[in-house]
Structure 1
């Protein structure tokens, strides 16, 4: 899978071509419904990183997509103002701050609806992120990180300069947590700001001389900046927050973290964008709150509520509803719907919501209708889309006639689509309507040619539960030429193999001749609460036996060579790979990435130990920890870990590596030789994201599998030295 001057096969046959495939990552609809802005990620010229740009997609599907922005730093976080201007964030140099700014931070830019050049409209020493724009008013809200003692942006800049000049990177903590996924928390903390867009174009700026080779612009630039009002002040309450603006711009609704000892719980608050006055909307001691969305008339807020777990009871995820005025108690919507909502958007008339949720290896759009009015009462839930795919970034047309979204599956990466909601509603009475297929729009990203076919496999577990999986097969696989099987276990554990992943991509393995099994065992989402509960607190029980049962079903297919199999997984999937290694020798090789190994060690060192403390008792952790079975491991293992992984700290990988070589059934020999391998990334996190490291990851994994599954030596990447 190396680059060649004459490309052959699909891009999945060549890692250089694969990492260069453009990737669609976001979609947002303008307030009048006439424009869609998409975010596209592409490989940079050095091929060592990715940059993003904004493209316009025609909602009617008639015109080709056209590029809106272009810079080496990239642009993201698109949001349309009520007047149709496009806001976005970018760290590209600000012409008004000099052509070679010193370490430019992400700023807020505005691209006028009527055309012309984008210009900076807001900056902050800690950068700008998360722009929100009111639908019916010239009000915006942005987030920025400030040092806790900074009273305003000016003082924050002074404090940051002192830290930088004195080369101080130390962080003094007084509360938990201190890390999140792959970055340290503090010393700066997120705050929310509001600003009025009116008057931005009133102040002329001094013209900036053109760079060599550029033509002088005939337009007069403007340097007017937004007057950012601090809404939330210093504190850690906006830890990983989600927020939304009311349509009239008068209220910011945001999650508000409460730190209780070593635990974190999210509540919901409303903040007046003119005065900063704050009031609590939802404070449920038994739940976490996220993803608020204000109704079109500004009266209601829908949000996702997730019950706090116990070692014996899995979380329950539902939609909640609360009056924005705070004059009614919150209610739970569709409590008898046995699915976990992942997002919600209001219908324009407020009569219902379009909701996404995992469902049987897919992620359809559902319609939730208020059949007896608000605030509560009965609701009806219907499936709107029939595609075998996952829908994200869903927006509703202002007239309610259509939905716009990104659609992705293991058959195709994300693409923009239109769903004819009017046709769905007209097809019959509620409860009798047939789901409709989405229509692809003209994407800025070309379709990807796959090296195989996608099928479904299912079986029955020992307790009678249905277990299903996707199976990606090489085009050449047949009874006469069966393919070796790779069992790939998903992470989470609360998740599903239901949507395209650029990081965990089975088609690269299929291009090498492997059949890749992507199962959803117990704990997977999209199969109901009972399916999650049957694996809760007992990771080594039903999830493990489900994996073996679905592997048996796949191996019974004539296209599969059951004598050549391997297993692999990352995060929780890595945990399961370790558990599999200690409980069966049916596989010829096992790859374990960012994996949990010793649960007593993992619990107190992960970035969210408070969550882990609610997941398992010490006795349950002891019962389910893979490290107790190291002496039973007789399968060659490839261990992969990144040093910047705070979710599963590198100590898990280091301990696994030492114990494999010192205490497994395949220990290191007298000269230190071993069949096991350890691929270590000093500057990568939980996923290994940079293009060249991703290439190395796949090259090492494929070489390891080739040696032990296919019996063929394969050259390792020369950059490993």
Structure 2
């Protein structure tokens, strides 16, 4: 069967749904969809609308050269999004918040922020108030008698840095980088907007000849800074507005020796006054959500992990008074006997329960958690992973995105009984060249270990690719455009996607089997389930390979040093020398909550470089700050030290991306990535001649 997965150009051109919002009346769903741009070197988002009842066809709402994102819907049904499209404010190079009226008409900007708008943090259901994020330079201080002067100061300082080509950043706290970008010099703030102040621009708003332009356009609602002098405390801010728009409940960072702990605070939108309501040493309070009636806040409380093990993620609720005060004394935990980790939560219509998604047994169902202390109910019972839950304010319609390894994200509506209606999508689901089976085995310690087996067409026996997930707190439970087993299946490989120790969705004990011991139970789990799959008649156990990225790359390195059973091993963005990695990753404080000194030494893969027998393809991006390039460079150096012939030749390869990050996201580079992996596996697993990808020179 010919599918888009047989051709990388066709595959990279497939449109992808990646965001969802719902109108308050539940009549329509708004989607963001990414599509390949004209020069095939990036993706651009557009905004679409589809009926929420499962009928009709998608309607495109936006078209711009720079694309749109961060979609939200106001109480009146207007669509908010962030876009870098030009506007009449003159801030052409910065993304602004735009509004597309529900009644029809052109989109219009609602901000003119010098550094651009980050995204919508929250909208109020009974008021025109919006909370959004935006970055400001710390020296951009305004005056008390000129509310918009801080924006003028920010614009002037940005221009001076740009004119003088100053790129230096002064850090006063840790961390200094995150994933693939430097932190600073500007700092994220939370701003409040009252969209009721938005009006049409007229001649009176334009300065007369010889007059200076106003600090901020008079026809736009004036942003109010709710978080002056935030430093880096809002790098990961999350929050919700009370229905009246008067109070923001937010999860913000409180500075520690290295990094931040997440605390729950309330912010008065009118005055900006902040009250810390839940803060504990070594505990994070995250994902705050407010009920539809504004009387209850729910959030996730998690004690920090230590090398002794991870802890439960607890769901808590507390009351909110009419003045926005949170009842701290009355806070209580719900779902105390539930051993899953919630990834998101929303209040159902009527506020009697929370709807929650969480990994479970290789899926990610929707669960219902009653607020009265009742037992947790699993709402969906299928092989799908659900995410992006949204509840229509007026009608209670529940919509979400869902995916599996056989279908990418697409919009659905979920009924109260758990039945699902598939909605129209502007990104039709592609035909896949495979079938999928649930596989499992029992390890020597009696633990059940399971995974997915993606099988190509034909009876086999098929060559086998063991693909190890990243994380490590993760599960192979849904589609990935970047890591696609379907591309391997199209080339005849069976792909094993296992969830070894440390994987989520199997309870805390399963995670802690691998804590401080990455090279132990995770490794033996992987080998045990590989043994079970290789025993199948449709698998050729003589033609096998292993592959992984990030934590999966660590495991690929560990596998390489501990067995010669695989004909080839691909290791992407991998941890290699743990003591070196310890101080160079962007999040060393988290890393040190996983390993103690003994565990780090005992589970360090670089100690076993001399034992590596399988040819390795090493892949790394220079802009990867989570697993810095030094890991890939040292791995390559030590492979050469121990395995190069006198003439310098090796069976190994090193694919290096100077301008890519942890994932390698640019379409043209993703294509080169797969072409190189295909060629390397074809040489060593299938016995074909090595073919250097054309664009690698």
- Name the TM-score class by shorter chain: over 0.9
Q: Does 1:707 align with 2:688?
A: no
CA deviation map 1:134-187 (0-9, x unaligned) = 111011111111111112111111111111111110111111000101000111
What's the counterpart of residue 216 of structure 1? none
Choose from 116, 123, 143 the match for 1:127: 116
Which string of whole-angstrom CA distances, capped at 9 and with x for unpartnered residues, describes residues 500-522 of structure 1? 00011000000010000000000
Q: How far apart in 1 are the matches of 2:281 and 2:426?
A: 45
TM-score, scaled relative to structure 1: 0.91
1:73 is aligned, of 37, 44, 66, to 66
Moved more, 547-556 or 302-311: 302-311
SS at match of 2:199: helix
* Counterpart in the other structure of 2:656: 680
> Residue in 2 aligned with 1:720?
696
| Equivalent position of 2:228 in the other structure | 233
Q: Choose the corresponding residue for 1:528, options 483, 494, 507.
A: 507
In the alignment, the residues of structure 1 paired with residue 396 and residue 255 of structure 2 have an alpha-carbon distance, to the nearest angstrom, of: 43
2:271 to 275, 286, 302: 275
Is 1:393 equivalent to 2:398 in the alignment? no
Distance 1:711 1:229 in 2: 65
Deviation at 1:55, TM superposition (A): 0.3
Q: Distance in 2 between matches of 1:318 and 1:602?
A: 31
Q: Using the alignment, how far apart are the partners of 2:383 and 2:219 within structure 1?
A: 48
Corresponding position: 1:154 with 2:180:
no
Residue in structure 2 matching 1:317, options 306, 313, 316:
313
Question: In the alignment, which residue of structure 2 is the partner of 1:170?
Answer: 168
Q: For the residues of structure 2 that align with 1:381 and 1:248, how far apart are their CA atoms?
A: 30
Structure 1 residue 24 corresponds to structure 2 residue 13 = no
Looking at structure 1, the residues matched to 510 and 682 of structure 2 have their Cα atoms a distance apart, in angstroms, of 35
Alignment of 1:469 onto 2:438? no
Matched, 1:83 2:79: no
Aligned equivalents of 2:244, 2:191: Cα separation in 1? 16
Shift of 1:203: 3.9
* Aligned twin of 1:410: 405
Shift of 1:587: 0.2
Distance of aligned partners of 1:674 and 1:141 in 2 relative to their CA distance in 1, 3 Å threshold? same
Q: Aligned pair 1:382/2:377, yes or no?
A: yes
Deviations 1:412-454 (A, max 9, x none): 0011111111xx1xxxxxxxxxxx4422111111111001111
**Map of 2:133 onto structure 1:** 143
Q: Does the Cα contact within 8 Å between 1:578 and 1:592 map onto a contact in 2?
A: yes
Q: Residues 206 and 449 (structure 1 numbering): CA distance in 2 closer, same or farther, change over 3 Å?
A: farther
Alpha-carbon spacing, 1:673–1:153, altered in 2? closer, same or farther (3 Å): same
TM score, norm. by length of structure 2: 0.94
Q: What is the count of residue pairs matched by the alignment?
A: 672
Partners of 2:74 and 2:387 lie apart in 1 by 21
How many Å apart are 1:223 and its aligned residue? 8.0
Query: 1:359 & 1:547 partners in 2: Cα distance?
Result: 19
Go from structure 1 to structure 2 and tell me whether the alpha carbon gap of 1:455 and 1:205 turns closer, same or farther (over 3 Å shift). Answer: farther
Aligned to 1:192: 190
- Alignment partner, residue 559 of structure 2: 580
> How far apart are the structure 2 equivalents of 1:687 and 1:185?
19
The gaps in structure 2 that reach 5 residues or longer are: 142-149, 207-216
Measured after TM superposition, the shift of residue 314 of structure 1 is 1.2
- 1:670 and 2:646 matched: yes
Residue 205 of structure 1 deviates from its aligned partner by 6.1
1:672-715, Cα deviation, whole Å (9 max, x unpaired): 11110000000000000000000000000110000000010253
Correspondences of 1:558-637 after superposition (within 5 Å): 558-637=537-616
Q: CA RMSD in A?
A: 1.6
Contact 1:636 1:675 in 2 (8 A): yes
> Take 1:205 and 1:303, find their aligned partners in 2: how far apart are those partners?
48
Distance 1:166 1:207, change over 3 A: closer
Q: Distance in 1 between matches of 2:670 and 2:203?
A: 45
Question: 3-state DSSP class of the match of 2:275?
Answer: strand
The 2-side partners of 1:690 and 1:351 are apart by 44
More displaced stretch, 397-406 vs 272-281: 397-406
Is the 2:303–2:312 Cα contact (8 Å) retained in structure 1?
A: yes
Report the CA distance between 1:401 and its aligned residue. 5.5
Q: Which moved more, 1:151-160 or 1:13-22?
A: 151-160
Instruction: Identify if the C-alpha distance between structure 1 residues 401 and 198 changes in structure 2 by more than 3 Å, giving closer, same or farther.
Output: closer
Deviation at 1:264, TM superposition (A): 1.8
Report if the CA contact (8 A) 1:172-1:187 is conserved: yes
Q: Could you list the runs of 5+ residues in structure 1 that have no partner in the other structure? A: 1-7, 209-221, 372-377, 425-435
Q: 3-state SS of the aligned residue for 2:644?
A: coil
Q: Give yes or no for contact 1:304–1:343 (8 Å, CA) kept in 2.
A: no
User: Could you tell me how far apart the structure 1 residues matched to 2:326 and 2:394 are?
Assistant: 28
**Which residue pairs with 2:212 in the alignment?**
none
Q: Secondary structure at the match of 1:156?
A: helix
**Which one of 409, 414, 426 corresponds to residue 444 of structure 1?**
426
**What corresponds to 1:698 in structure 2?**
674
Contact kept, 8 Å, 1:365 with 1:385, in 2: the verdict is yes
- How far off its partner does 1:400 sit? 5.8
